[in-house]
Amino acid sequence: MIPVNEPLIGEKEIEYVNECLRTGWISSAGRFIEEFEQKWAAYCGMKYGIAMSNGTAALQAAVGCIGLQPGDKVIMPTFTIISCAQAITYNGGVPILVDSDPRTWCMDVGQVREKVEAEMKKGDGKLKAIMPVHIYGHPVDMDPILELAEKYNLKIIEDAAEVHGAEYLTGRATTNPQWKRCGGLGHLSVFSFYANKLITTGEGGMVLTNDPAYAEKARSLRNLCFLPQRRFYHTELGHNFRLTNLQAAIGLGQLERMEEIIAKKRWMGKAYTERLQGIPGLQLPVEEPWAKQVYWMYGIVLAESTGLDAVRFAQKLKEKGVETRPFFLGMHEQPVFQTPTHLSHGGRDRGRGFFTGEKYPIAERIARQGLYLPSGLTLSGTQIDLVCDTVKAILDDIVKSTKL
């Protein structure tokens, strides 16, 4: 079986982890945490990094930083992981969804504009933020979002979990366009360092910001909101979202190989595209002229005309030894958000009656027709050949059988 992903742990990571073990700095204090925070923030062009226990926690803390009031709204894509919507709802907010761009699968920025303007017309001041989520390695078209944020005084919480090192050409309508790293464009940004990410800490995450007040707030939320001047005295509720020095040690070792990791991913993306392009019924990842994408996962979308959906396609690939993963299912299709409150089980999972009757056709289609192919850092050229030959053979069979 060719695995969908495999982390690649190098000698540096082993050396740094050993140092933690030898010196006893195994918990949430130690030199690797600060170094990892500072180096990752600097790499992304931000001032402050606040390491977290995972990307979901980082999102929750980042949304916590902007201080939503109950019922405040945040615009986000429907096509993403539940962590994004959960971070908003746990903080008392209401997610306002937009569909995906059919080429990049990231949020459709035209719809963001429409939804922002519709909210502004209401004049109730409820819309507070936009959460762009860069998908599968490709950046969101950020400039229109940055402009809306500036015009209407909205906060931007960028979810860059899937795009370590990806770049975006900002200001391309000006005389001074500039390439900037994803995660360096919002008021706050969020990363995950789960084992399938470009760089990993096993489990882990980080919040980045240029704002010292947000940095302080995120640090406080991470550590149970202990007051610095009086420990065990609390004026707010926080979390234990701490990352360990052991995990940061792995991250730092990985970060030292960042250029190599990106080069490998871009090589993989190019190799897949060269072998798969031109196959009828198959949509491949793009790289817009304003983007340097990092192919976190090499996603493909089957045309509905093939008569095959992603579940059956994945099954066929698995039978031939190729592991895949399905695309996200949109937030508007999640029972946990749809169930009316009075019919649900209560507690955190209580339904909210959100998104009733809402339709997002692109997200719905790619959720059913999309999957990603093996994309790990250990993938070889021979394995890519094998995966592509298998994909082609399955689609050829379908073409033959429909002709009969």
Ligand X SMILES: Cc1ncc(COP(=O)(O)O)c(C=O)c1O
Binding site for ligand X (CB under 6 A): 54-56, 59, 80-81, 83, 133, 159, 161-162, 192, 194, 205
CB of 181 to ligand X, least distance (A): 16
Alpha-carbon torsion angle 46, 104, 258, 217, nearest 10? 30
Residue with tokens 């919002």: 186
CB of 328 to ligand X, least distance (A): 8
Nearer to ligand X, 202 or 281 (CB): 202
Per DSSP, what are the bridge partners of residue 157?
188
Helix axes 310-319, 381-403, angle to 10 degrees: 120
Structure tokens at 213: 């007040």
Nearer to ligand X, 105 or 194 (CB): 194
CB of 44 to ligand X, least distance (A): 15
Residue 286, judged by CB atoms within 10 A of its CB (0-12, 13-18, 19+), counts as: middle
Q: Buried (b) or exposed (e) across 209-233, using 16+ Cβ within 10 A?
A: bbbeebbebbbbbbebbeeeeeeee
Nearer to ligand X, 243 or 387 (CB): 243
CB of 80 to ligand X, least distance (A): 5
CB of 53 to ligand X, least distance (A): 8
Alpha-carbon torsion angle 55, 61, 64, 70, nearest 10? 50
Nearer to ligand X, 282 or 329 (CB): 329
CB of 343 to ligand X, least distance (A): 28
Nearer to ligand X, 192 or 247 (CB): 192
Chain-centroid distance, C-alpha 99: 16
Which H helix or E strand runs over 169? strand 167-170
Nearer to ligand X, 77 or 276 (CB): 77
Residue whose beta carbon is closest to ligand X: 55
* Best CA proximity match to 361, nearest among 129, 97, 132: 97
Chain-centroid distance, C-alpha 371: 16
Nearer to ligand X, 46 or 59 (CB): 59
CB of 162 to ligand X, least distance (A): 5
Q: For residue 401, give the 3-state DSSP assignment.
A: helix
